Amino acid sequence: MPAKAQKINPDLLKERQKASFKTEELAVWWNGGQKKLENKRFLEDYFLNDPALQDDLPISYMSHKELYEHSVKKSYIVLKKLHEYQKKTGNSIDNYMALLGGNLGSGLIKEGNPLTVHFVMFLPTLLGQATPEQQAEWLPRAWNCNIIGTYAQTELGHGTFIRGLEARADYDPKTQEFVLNSPTLTSYKWWPGGLAHTANYAVVVAQLYTKGECHGIHPFIVQLRDEETHMPLPGIKIGEIGTKVGMKSVNNGYLGFEKVRIPRKNMLMKNAQVLEDGTFVKPKASVLTYGTMMFVRVAIVGDASNNLAKAVTIATRYSAVRRQSPIDPNKPEPQIIDHVTQQLKLFPQIAKAFVFKVAANYIWDLYNQITGELAKGDLERLPELHAMSCCLKAICTADASSGVELLRLSCGGHGYMECSNFPTIYGIATAAVTYEGENTVLLLQTARYLMKAWSLALQNEKLVPTVAYLGEYRDSTRFTNWDGSVPQIIEAFKFVAAQKVRLAYNSVEKRRQSGYSQEEAANLSGIELTQAANIHCRAFLLQMCYEQLEQNSKDTSPALAVILKDIIELYSVDACLTHLGELLRFVQLDESQVSQLQRRLETVLARIRPNAVAIVDGFDFHDRVLSSALGAYDGNVYERLFQEAQKSPLNQEPVNKSFHEYLKPLMKSNL
Ligand SMILES: CCCCCCCCCCCCC/C=C/C(=O)SCCNC(=O)CCNC(=O)[C@H](O)C(C)(C)COP(=O)(O)OP(=O)(O)OC[C@H]1O[C@@H](n2cnc3c(N)ncnc32)[C@H](O)[C@@H]1OP(=O)(O)O
Ligand SMILES: Cc1cc2nc3c(=O)[nH]c(=O)nc-3n(C[C@H](O)[C@H](O)[C@H](O)COP(=O)(O)OP(=O)(O)OC[C@H]3O[C@@H](n4cnc5c(N)ncnc54)[C@H](O)[C@@H]3O)c2cc1C
């Protein structure tokens, strides 16, 4: 939180004075408790106020190369500072995650940290896929950044269909080595973060060949660059893939192999092994190779909430200070937050930030529970975790990405400025729709699981909790219990989801019976399959948000409980109106009931209006994390916009040289 001493925009001050609850209480809840909140604030001061970590020149004015070098320099300073701090306080993974993938990190290195993949994928892969001996060799060096790694799976020709990856590792029993090759241009690794100029090691996912047979994709740890000179090793062709929509300093790279030899022990052999003579020992389940992706998908759900919460804080504060267009012609221009259409752009995004945060906590707990079972060899619930992590990652990132864009638009022209920070937040948020499993593909994975679940429901088999509703609604075709209550809205969504699953299942079955293969039938039914997965996830989000926030409201002050209940009401009613078409297809709703939903929406928007600024204040974003001329705590947007404009290199001189070189000759040339 910024120093409170500064001059606060009077409109924003009034907003804060009229709040009906204590912002600090929400800040404690939002940040996971008093201790975590205090630690977060300490780290923010410790890092964000360090003069060595300031951006004298806004990074949007830096060249691509300057930006990378600036980001590496800051990463170095941040990690050294963190190391010093943790020597005194003890190691905490949370601090690393805050700095390398969380809000604090996004405030320090706005366009993405070239070392994030080292911490968020390379290290977790060693933890999840390496044997204890391999961990003993690699983990200490990786934790201390004596080596810097990346996760090289995607290729120029394949990102989604990883069984189609072309890079290969051929085992040579004579030398007990693997020989890595990129047989085609499309087999070049392409995209890995930090790969281009930062990492000197990589986990490489390649097709394993031994004794003339292919055993599918497996992870290998490969040294890419000399540890002293950082020069690429022989046979390593490496570079940067070029400028991107966002995440501009992540240093995504390409990597090709030409007869690169690595020792047998560099195959990460926790799940599958290759013996000295080349014998392949297969894993308990081939999908265990996919574990790192699941970990990041789970983490991304929280990231979606963070991105949306930042954007809606900026837009809400701006909407409280921006005055435009009288509502009553005889009155002064109102705050744009008093235009009801503006409230519809803002407040449902506030609600989604809450819902995605609660979803992130849920899926994180489920992940830890099930990976604990995996460690004991129990794979029973892995399919359910895969299905939930896929659809939650897909829905939360898609909604967060479109929400950030809507919030940018809600700020008019000033939202289009780099200094609003919307472009950077959007670039980060929308990347998550693609990476770690493209959203459509992940929804199809969830749909695949739902088809199996529906088949079990048809056989009266017991279903796991997240799909139990399929059994409850298996034989119903019309929902007639609508009373408009939130619990009934949840049941209605579960009912719709069950019908969508049934329809998709029947489409696939019908096509299979007409002679199509399972795969062809699934492709032809792909639209219904993704829709079923989509509504399944939304039904889950509604139920989970209701249960969690209702429960939380029992432990908070009555004043904050009212806010949490309004969040539930808004999220539920907004979901009904957004997906009204799906509802009307299966739920008995007459015109008056639909109109009642519209009235409820307008009512809950009006209820949230007096507390909107206080709610986003409760997210407790440091000004440097928001990094926005529109969203600062003091609300002095016009002064900040003007200050930011002065930083433009073009404003450092009254006349640019192009006048003398081109404009003056043009103007004098009488074309
Ligand atoms: C904590 C704070 C930190 C904050 C961090 C915030 C995030 C910041 C991160 C920034 C860095 C991220 C950088 C990005 C990195 C990447 O993008 S890495 C590359 C990611 N790539 C992918 O995700 C590839 C997507 N493709 C796939 O996963 C697979 O190809 C597929 C689509 C799943 C298909 O695989 P395939 O083997 O062909 O499977 P199927 O035939 O469809 O199904 C086979 C069975 O396997 C099951 N299954 C598939 N995947 C998994 C899995 N991951 N886990 C468990 N089970 C899985 C599937 O359900 C099938 O099961 P059955 O139906 O029972 O047969
Ligand atoms: C910012 C960023 C960072 C990244 N970092 C890394 C990294 O560190 N390491 C790494 O290995 N990779 C990384 N990636 C790559 C990323 O994982 C892939 O881009 C992603 O998996 C999507 O694969 P693709 O690009 O091949 O898209 P495709 O799979 O080619 O998708 C293109 C279209 O085809 C559709 N499609 C594909 N398969 C199917 C299907 N079965 N059914 C229906 N439609 C389908 C998709 O829905 C999509 O609309 C990164 C990507 C980005 C954008």
Distance in angstroms (rounded) separating the CA atoms of residues 397 and 305: 9
Cβ of residue 219 lying under 6 Å from some atom of ligand 2? no
Nearest atom in ligand 2 to the alpha carbon of residue 193 is: 8
Q: Say how many C-beta atoms besides its own lie within 10 A of residue 262's C-beta.
A: 18
From the CA of 154, how far away is ligand 1's center (Å)? 12
Q: Is residue 238 part of a domain?
A: yes
Q: What is the pLDDT of residues 199-229, one digit of tens each?
A: 999 999 999 999 999 999 999 999 999 999 9
Instruction: Catalogue the E-assigned strands of 90-231.
Output: 149-152, 168-172, 177-181, 189-190, 201-210, 213-223
Largest CA distance in the chain: 90
Distance in angstroms (rounded) separating the CA atoms of residues 428 and 112: 8
From the CA of 438, how far away is ligand 2's center (Å)? 5
From the CA of 386, how far away is ligand 1's center (Å)? 8
- Within 207-325, where are the H helices? 291-321
How many domains, the chain?
1
The CATH number of residue 200's host domain is 2.40.110.10
Q: Say how many C-beta atoms besides its own lie within 10 A of residue 10's C-beta.
A: 10
Provide the pLDDT for residue 196. 98
Q: Is residue 593 part of a domain?
A: no
Helix 340-375 and helix 382-409: axis angle, to 10°?
Answer: 160
Nearest atom in ligand 1 to the alpha carbon of residue 153 is: 19
Confirm whether 436 is a catalytic residue. yes
Distances (CA, A) of 488 to 99, 430, 551, 568, 582: 41, 33, 18, 13, 15
Provide the pLDDT for residue 288. 79
From the CA of 657, how far away is ligand 2's center (Å)? 44
Q: Is it the case that residue 56 has pLDDT exceeding 90?
A: no
Residue 4: band (very low, low, confident or very high) from pLDDT cuts 50, 70, 90: low
Q: Is it the case that residue 318 has pLDDT exceeding 60?
A: yes
Provide the pLDDT for residue 590. 94
Q: Is residue 253 part of a domain?
A: yes
Q: What is the pLDDT of residues 519-561, one digit of tens each?
A: 999 999 999 999 999 999 999 999 999 999 999 999 999 999 9
Q: Is it the case that residue 394 has pLDDT exceeding 60?
A: yes
Placement of tokens 């004043």 in the chain: 559
Q: Which of 464, 543, 562, 458 is nearest to 509 (CA)?
A: 458
Q: Is residue 162 part of a domain?
A: yes
- The percentage of residues in the chain with a pLDDT greater than 90, rounded to a whole number, is 92
pTM of the model: 0.97
Choose the catalytic residue: 15, 436, 491, 569. 436
Q: What is the pLDDT of residues 409-421, one digit of tens each?
A: 999 999 999 999 9
Q: Is residue 189 part of a domain?
A: yes
Distance in angstroms (rounded) separating the CA atoms of residues 587 and 581: 10
Q: Is residue 156 part of a domain?
A: yes
Q: Is residue 163 part of a domain?
A: yes
Ligand 2, atom 41, residue with closest C-alpha:
441
The whole-number average pLDDT for the span 431-444 is 98
Q: Which domain holds residue 168?
A: 145-283
Structure tokens at 207: 């097709």
ipTM above 0.95, yes or no: yes
Please answer whether residues 216 and 163 qualify as being in contact, where contact means their C-beta atoms are separated by less than 8 angstroms: yes
Query: Which-ligand-closest: CA of 447?
Result: 1
Provide the pLDDT for residue 183. 98
Cβ of residue 241 lying under 6 Å from some atom of ligand 1? no
Q: Is residue 55 part of a domain?
A: no
Q: What is the pLDDT of residues 536-545, one digit of tens each?
A: 999 999 999 9
Distance in angstroms (rounded) separating the CA atoms of residues 504 and 520: 14
The whole-number average pLDDT for the span 587-608 is 97
* Binding-site annotation, residues for FAD: 154, 193
Provide the pLDDT for residue 5. 59
Please answer whether residues 9 and 631 qualify as being in contact, where contact means their C-beta atoms are separated by less than 8 angstroms: no
